[in-house]
Chain A
Amino acid sequence: MTVPSQLLAISPGWLADALPFAFAAGVVYVLLQAAWFRATVLEMGSTLELAAATAMRVHHLPRRSRWLMEQLFAAGVRNLHVVLLVGLFMGMIVSLQTGIELSRFGQQDQIGTIVAASMTREMGPFITAVVLAATTGSALAAELGTMSVSDELSALEVMSVDRTSFLVVPRVAALMIIAPVLTVLCDTIGIVGGGFVATSQLGVPLAQYTETALDALQEKGALIPLPMDVYSGLFKSIIFGGLIAVISCASGLVARGGALGVGRATSRAVRDSIIAVIVANYFLTWFLYR
Chain B
Amino acid sequence: MTSGPGTSAASGTPDVILRFEDVHKAFGAQRVLRGLSFDVERGKVLGLMGGSGTGKSVALRHVIGLLRPDAGRVEVEGHNVSALSAHEMSALRKRMGYVFQEGALINWLTVEENLALPLVENTDLGRGEIADRVAEKLAMVHIPDAGKKLPSEISGGMKKRVGLARALIVEPDILLYDEPNAGLDPEISRSINELIREIAEIHESTALVVEHRVDCIRTVCDEVVFLHEGAAIVHQPTEEFLRPSHPRLIEFLGPDALD
Contacts and interface: CB of A to CB of B under 8 A. Distances in A.
- Tell me whether A and B are bound partners: yes
Interface of A: 146-147, 150-152, 154-162, 166
A154 B104 contact: yes
7 contacts: A152-B104, A155-B105, A156-B106, A157-B93, A159-B117, A160-B93, A161-B117
A150 B58 CA distance: 16
B38 interface: no
A247 B151 CA distance: 28
Nearest to B92: A160
Contacts of B66: 154, 157-158
Interface string B138-176: 000000000000000000000000000010001000000
Contact of B102 (A151, A157, A158): A151
Interface residues of B, number: 21
Nearest to B100: A151
Nearest to A160: B90
A156 B170 CA distance: 14
Per CB-CB distance, the 7 closest pairs between chain A and chain B, nearest first, are A151-B104, A155-B104, A159-B118, A160-B90, A158-B98, A161-B121, A151-B100
Contact of B98 (A146, A150, A155): A155
B107 A152 contact: yes
Nearest to A166: B121
Interface of B: 61, 64, 66, 90, 93-94, 96, 98, 100-102, 104-107, 117-118, 121-122, 166, 170
A158 B106 CA distance: 13
A156 B93 CA distance: 11
A156 B66 CA distance: 11
B121 A150 contact: no
A154 B100 contact: yes
Contact of B105 (A146, A152, A162): A152
A150 B159 CA distance: 13
Nearest to B86: A160
Interface centre among B90, B93, B104, B107 (most CB of A within 10 A): B104
Contacts of B96: 158
A160 B121 contact: yes
Nearest to B121: A161
A159 B93 contact: yes
B104 A162 contact: no
B94 A155 contact: no
Contacts of A158: 64, 66, 93, 96, 98
Given A157-B66, A159-B117, A159-B118, A150 B104 contact: yes
Contacts of A147: 106-107
A151 B105 CA distance: 9
A152 B114 CA distance: 11
Contacts of A152: 104-107
Contacts of A156: 106
Given A158-B66, A160-B94, A160-B122, A150 B117 contact: no
Contacts of B61: 154
Nearest to B97: A158
